[in-house]
């Protein structure tokens, strides 16, 4: 005779124990625990109930509108302060830095011109010493010019001088310049050099050296004399000529 495997009760042939049916129903109820959710009134995005007072079919839950994020605080006032201040600082910097840079560039160019004048002075003195050693007369006061037609009172063969002088002034940048040299008893005492005779925009370098704001002038006694403004090479030539020959 069969027995129930769950409760051990003796069963008839083909009989199913009632404990199995009861257990099956209990498991089914425990697996599907339905909760009766009451239908809530429906509110639209404006947080107001609809005309029916309930959510549409299929939506037993309450609707809520998405919260609007708070408005960000504007930072435009910061830019309104920073930009004008930055512009003012830039203008102050430009007012100081640009003139200083231009002044430095001009001083640098003037220094180069003065070096040219000093180099010409040394080359002329060396050439004259060599001519004197060869027996040429070099004493006296005279002017040697890049334009041979403007030489004044030169006591020796100017062609022989130019040959020696060109050897000592072979620099291509130096050859682009016009010049004149004042010689006293065989020694070059004053030199002026520029790329143009009459152009007031061209810098004039001298020995003794000039400055960006004034030009060194020739003096008979060798003292220092500086003009209060720029002078052209042509002006310096005739000023020197008058001081030597029309005194």
Give the pLDDT score at 28.
47
Supply φ then ψ for residue 87, to 5 degrees.
-65, -40
Give the pLDDT score at 213.
83
129 is a domain residue: yes
**Which residue has 């400055």 as its token pair?**
211
Q: Total domain count for the chain? A: 1
Give CA–CA dist 61/55, Å, rounded. 7
Give the pLDDT score at 54.
46
Give CA–CA dist 128/124, Å, rounded. 6
| Domain span at 161 | 79-245
Please list the ranges in the chain whose pLDDT falls under 70. 1, 3, 8, 11, 20-69, 71, 74-75, 93-95, 97-107, 173, 247
23 is a domain residue: no
Give the pLDDT score at 101.
57
Give the pLDDT score at 197.
95
30 is a domain residue: no
Give CA–CA dist 6/3, Å, rounded. 9
What 8-state DSSP symbol labels residue 150? G
Supply φ then ψ for residue 201, to 5 degrees.
-80, -15
5 is a domain residue: no
180 is a domain residue: yes
196 is a domain residue: yes
Sheet holding 141-145, edge to edge: 141-145, 178-184, 187-194, 205-207
Answer yes or no: are the C-beta atoms of 83 and 91 closer than 8 Å. Answer: no
- Examine residue 208 and say whether the peptide bond preceding it is cis (omega within 30 degrees of 0): yes
pTM given for the model: 0.59
Q: How remote is the C-alpha of 38 from its chain's centroid?
A: 75
87 is a domain residue: yes
DSSP per-residue codes, 105-147: HHHHHHHHHHHHHHHHHHHHHHHHHHHHHTT----SEEEEESS
Strand, coil or helix: what is 53?
A: coil
136 is a domain residue: yes
């Amino acid at each position: 005779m069969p027995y129930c495997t769950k409760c051990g009760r003796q069963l008839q042939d083909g009989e199913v124990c009632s404990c199995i049916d009861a257990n099956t129903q209990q498991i089914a109820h425990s697996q599907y625990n339905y909760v009766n959710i009451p239908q809530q009134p429906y509110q639209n995005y404006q947080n107001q109930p609809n005309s029916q007072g309930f959510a549409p079919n299929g939506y037993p839950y309450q609707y809520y509108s998405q919260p609007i994020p708070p408005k960000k605080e504007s930072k435009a006032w910061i830019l309104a302060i920073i930009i004008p201040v930055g512009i003012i600082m830039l203008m102050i910097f430009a007012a100081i830095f640009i003139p200083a840079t231009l002044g430095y560039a001009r001083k640098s160019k003037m220094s180069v011109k003065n070096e040219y004048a000093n180099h010409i002075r040394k080359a002329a003195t060396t050439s004259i010493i060599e001519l004197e050693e060869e027996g040429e007369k070099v004493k006296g006061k005279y002017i040697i010019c890049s334009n041979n037609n403007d030489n004044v009172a030169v006591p020796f063969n100017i062609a022989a001088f130019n040959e020696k002088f060109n050897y000592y002034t072979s620099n291509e940048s130096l050859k682009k310049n016009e010049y004149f040299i004042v010689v006293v008893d065989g020694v070059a005492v004053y030199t002026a050099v520029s790329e143009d005779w009459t152009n007031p925009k061209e810098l004039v370098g001298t020995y003794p050296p000039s400055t960006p704001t004034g030009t060194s002038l020739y003096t008979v006694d060798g003292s220092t004399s500086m003009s209060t403004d720029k002078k052209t090479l042509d002006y310096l030539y005739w000023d020197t000529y008058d001081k030597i020959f029309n005194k």
